[in-house]
A and B are shown apart, each in its own frame.
Chain A
Amino acid sequence: MNRYPLWKNLLVIVTVALAIFYSLPNLYGESPAVQVSSSKNHVQIDNALLARIESGLKEQNIEYEAIFLDDSGVKVRFSNPDTQIRAKDVLTQLLGNDYVIALNLLSRSPNWFNKIGAKPMYLGLDLRGGVYFLLEVDMNAAMTQAAERYVGDFRSTFRKERIAYRGISREDQMVVINFTDQAELEKAERIIRRDYPDITVRASGSGGDRTLTASLSPEARKRIQDFALKQNMQTLNNRVNELGVAEPIIQQQGPSRVVVQLPGVQDTAKAKEILGRTATLEIRMVDEERNDPVTLENASKGQVPFGTEFYVDRNGQPLLVKKNVVLTGDYITDAGPGLDQQSGESVVHVTLDGRGAGIFKQVTRENVGKRMAILLIEKGEAEVITAPVIREEIGGGRVQISGMSNIKEATDVALLLRAGALAAPMEIIEERTVGPSMGEENIKRGVDATLWGFIALSIFMIAYYMLFGVVSVIALTVNLVLLVALLSVLQATLTLPGLAAIALTLGMAIDANVLINERTREELRAGLSPQLAIKVGHERAWNTIVDSNVTTLIAGIALFMFGSGPVKGFAVVHVLGILTSMFSAVVVARAITNAIYGYRRKIHKVSIG
């Protein structure tokens, strides 16, 4: 009676074999590596690149352990960190700006393992070292900016339609237009309703003081917020590439937050600087009419004429710049440092996209002879980089920004511009950093705790339950291997609490075996024959095992839903561990017990202590 049908035994054997195989990658360890990927869409990662890299490294006598090409780029493994850094420098010089060259830790397991999905476990930041940021997008600023843009749009529309109004301004995130005449107000209302579907208008006031308040409709607000978030994420993507991080994670969390995880990053200051800088490029026209010394003098003291802002450019010249933004940084597709052909000065070459190029062409056409100010806005503070005179219509979308003091400045500005402009500024609201050595320490601690606990447990089980104890320990080992294999294949994030969960799972899993063993003993003492006792012991225990595991499962699932970061890692392992323990403690243990006792005709003594 204690015999499993063939298919069940086969199932057990196959599962165990697969589990062993898929947990093997974890044993190989990791080596320092360099990863080359492309930062541009048109730049290919292919075998030609691999050959280039290979020869480049050989030329410099840099030895590598392995080199291969996969979906994310060309990867080269080295035996120590020094070689890794040297290789990175060599490759940066060789390949230049089109490629992102990042430092990484790669598993030493053979490449073909990857192809069948056998990878080592995905380590969380607290085991690998690195930085975790939670960024919040300042939606208010995005709305304010949008409102400001509408002020300018309305003004030109009213001029075109010849609507008389007394004043127009932005109040918080709404546009307020004052009218003296009711007819004009209604005309304006009609036009806004017709041409601006995103806007809702409300009329108020009476007599000579009527106002039209225009605000964004809720749908439009949501759309702008989504767009701001997506654009910020895109920008972050680009910037993170510039940092040279392999396997960064950038994810949306809720309506206005972004999670950024940068494994292996050591220089957190630089990361924060690059991520936190919100550089917006704005091109506005200089107010030529009021550029006389007197007005400028007054402006510097705070008396700024309506519709303009006061700035001092890099050479110290004062300027009045119109508030209306002609072109923003969203239209920038590329930016790079360079040298001006004639003057030899450092400049930034900027390329605009189709729409941007069109707008720019029109602006330069309409304003030949006038000056255009290029402003760089960082964290709310604006600076006029340069205010060149428009000599001619500039088409084709290629713009040159001069006024950089040296090539390094040109490179920095280009970096900021190239990564794109942010539609709304972002702020770091949570930061978790783990140093690299701490990551290794944590792994060691987690593994030690699990290992020693396991050994102590095994000794106790075998002493207390003898042969049945041995079976229990084997089942527990299978449990561990199965859990590791599952985590590896699913690429679930393993954190320090996750390692603790592995230890805990083993401690809890043994409960099932204790239940079975105790019950079997009890039935033997009650006088049942050995074969029957084994059968009854297992069956009676099954109900209880299911019940107790379900309650632990409830706790695990709740933790998963409400936890974040490391706690989520704990929950995932906990839940998976329960499932594997149910399988191994019941099915696997029974299979082994059956194999030992099932085929004996007469059992004289059952080794259960």
Chain B
Amino acid sequence: MELFRIKNDIPFMKYGRLTTAISLITFILAIFFLATKGLNLGVDFTGGTMVEVSYPQAANLSEVRSAVQSLGLSDVTVQNFGTSRDVLIRLPLTPDLSIAQISEQVMAVLQKADPGVTLSRVESVGAQVGQELYENGALALLLVSIGIMLYLYFRFEWQFGLSALIANTHDVVIILGFFAFFQWEFNLTVLAGVLAVLGYSVNESVVVFDRIRENFRKMRNATPAQVIDNAITRTMSRTVITHFSTELMVVSMLIFGGEALHGFALALTIGIVFGIYSSILVASPIALYLGVSRETFVKPEKKDSPEEALP
């Protein structure tokens, strides 16, 4: 079975301006939503308490809400979580109740309302810890981006490092934009997913760049645009197949993983799909624009570099 037996190179780079423009628009949209709606940060980052309980039959949300509010807390969110029997209660930090007390009191008050309730999960994070997790998360994101860019700079050339960074930052921002738009919860696990996407997305760029470099050495009379077109066309098969395979695993996670992994699986799904787009149609045009050419790889003065293609 072969889905991609393409005879001629597809002239991707001709549409380079168009594809880059499209991604710029989506990028701006994502920033817009991030700025206006903002991310729905989980308790990991804001501090506060999240209690997940399960009832033997469909839960009465308004009852639950009034029970919890009787503790004197105003800013309480109560919603279903997965099935109608599971309820997620979110409480803000309050100076009156300590972390230790809050989950006990919530359970006590819920049990009074309905003795059949069972505790599934509690996550209670103090203000300082939340702040630290938030800062650490942002730092991790920053460091991964820098680390990857440095690696690509050493492995290929600066044009590739920069274009890959731009393309992949674009991916991350798009994912965050989706989360802001749909107000899906953004917690530590989702952040882990985003970082995994970042690593994965760069994979794509690397495969294409590798091929571009090989082509520049082999195709002596072609223009840079033609070289890149050829590289992308030849690797398209592999790109789509790999993404499809990974997507199979991620979709399986989306279906079977339950609510706890839902945000994570969503981040991955979006990231992988947009990853194809950005690696092929954003990173390469930017590299082209930055002046990538045969001279970038084959220095005329120097002796044959040790990076010669394999026999």
Contact = CB atoms under 8 A, between A and B. Distances in A.
Contacts of A563: 136, 140, 188, 192
Given A461-B245, A551-B206, A555-B196, A518 B98 contact: no
Given A515-B207, A544-B207, A567 B191 contact: yes
A522 interface: yes
A507 B196 CA distance: 12
Nearest to B168: A551
A503 B254 CA distance: 11
A558 B140 contact: yes
Interface in B189-219: 189, 191-192, 195-196, 198-200, 202-203, 206-207, 210-211
A431 interface: yes
A504 B104 contact: no
Given A437-B118, A554-B151, A558-B140, A511 B261 contact: no
B166 interface: no
Interface stretch (A151-159, A174-182, A353-361, A443-451): A443-451
Interface stretch (B24-32, B60-68, B120-128): B120-128
A500 B257 contact: yes
Q: Binding site of B, secondary structure by majority: helix, strand, loop or mixed? A: helix
B276 to A, nearest CB: 13
Contact of B202 (A452, A551, A558): A551
Nearest to B155: A547
A441 B258 contact: yes
A249 interface: no
A429 B256 CA distance: 33
B128 A464 contact: no
A251 to B, nearest CB: 16
Contacts of B125: 429-430
Contacts of B207: 515, 544, 547-548
Interface in B167-204: 188-189, 191-192, 195-196, 198-200, 202-203
Contact of A452 (B104, B210, B252): B252
Interface residues of B, number: 72
B137 to A, nearest CB: 7
A220 B97 CA distance: 34
Contacts of A553: 199
Interface string A448-481: 1110111011001101110000000000000000
B238 interface: yes
Nearest to A446: B257
A567 B121 contact: no
B100 A496 contact: no
B109 interface: no
Contacts of B192: 497, 559, 563, 567, 570-571
A445 B257 contact: yes
Nearest to A465: B1
Contacts of A431: 99-100, 103, 122-124
B147 interface: yes
B206 A562 contact: no
Contact of A514 (B151, B191, B242): B242
B2 A521 contact: yes
27 contacts: A428-B99, A429-B126, A431-B100, A431-B123, A432-B122, A433-B121, A437-B120, A442-B258, A448-B252, A449-B249, A449-B256, A453-B250, A500-B253, A500-B261, A503-B250, A503-B252, A507-B246, A507-B250, A508-B203, A511-B242, A518-B235, A522-B234, A548-B206, A551-B203, A554-B151, A555-B196, A559-B192
Given A430-B124, A552-B203, A609-B1, A518 B241 contact: yes
A510 interface: yes
B270 to A, nearest CB: 14
Contacts of B251: 453
Given A522-B234, A548-B203, A433 B189 contact: no
Contacts of A567: 188-189, 191-192
B253 A449 contact: yes
B45 interface: no
Contact of B121 (A276, A438, A550): A438
B124 A432 contact: yes
Interface of B: 1-2, 52, 98-100, 103-104, 118-126, 128-129, 133, 136-137, 139-140, 143-144, 147-148, 151-152, 155, 188-189, 191-192, 195-196, 198-200, 202-203, 206-207, 210-211, 234-235, 237-238, 241-242, 244-253, 255-258, 260-261, 264-265, 268, 310
A296 B85 CA distance: 60
Contacts of B1: 463-465, 609
A518 B1 CA distance: 12
Given A442-B260, A540-B310, A564-B133, A272 B248 contact: no
A268 B107 CA distance: 11
A268 B104 contact: yes
Given A452-B255, A503-B250, 4 more contacts: A126-B260, A518-B237, A551-B202, A566-B188
Contacts of B103: 268, 431, 433
Contacts of B244: 460
A556 interface: yes
B151 A429 contact: no
A568 B64 CA distance: 34
Contacts of B258: 441-442, 445
Contacts of B122: 268, 431-434
Nearest to B237: A518
Contacts of B253: 449, 453, 500, 503-504
Contacts of A437: 118, 120
A514 B99 contact: no
A574 interface: yes
B98 A428 contact: yes
A382 B203 CA distance: 63
A457 B249 CA distance: 7
A504 to B, nearest CB: 6
Contact of A518 (B120, B238, B248): B238
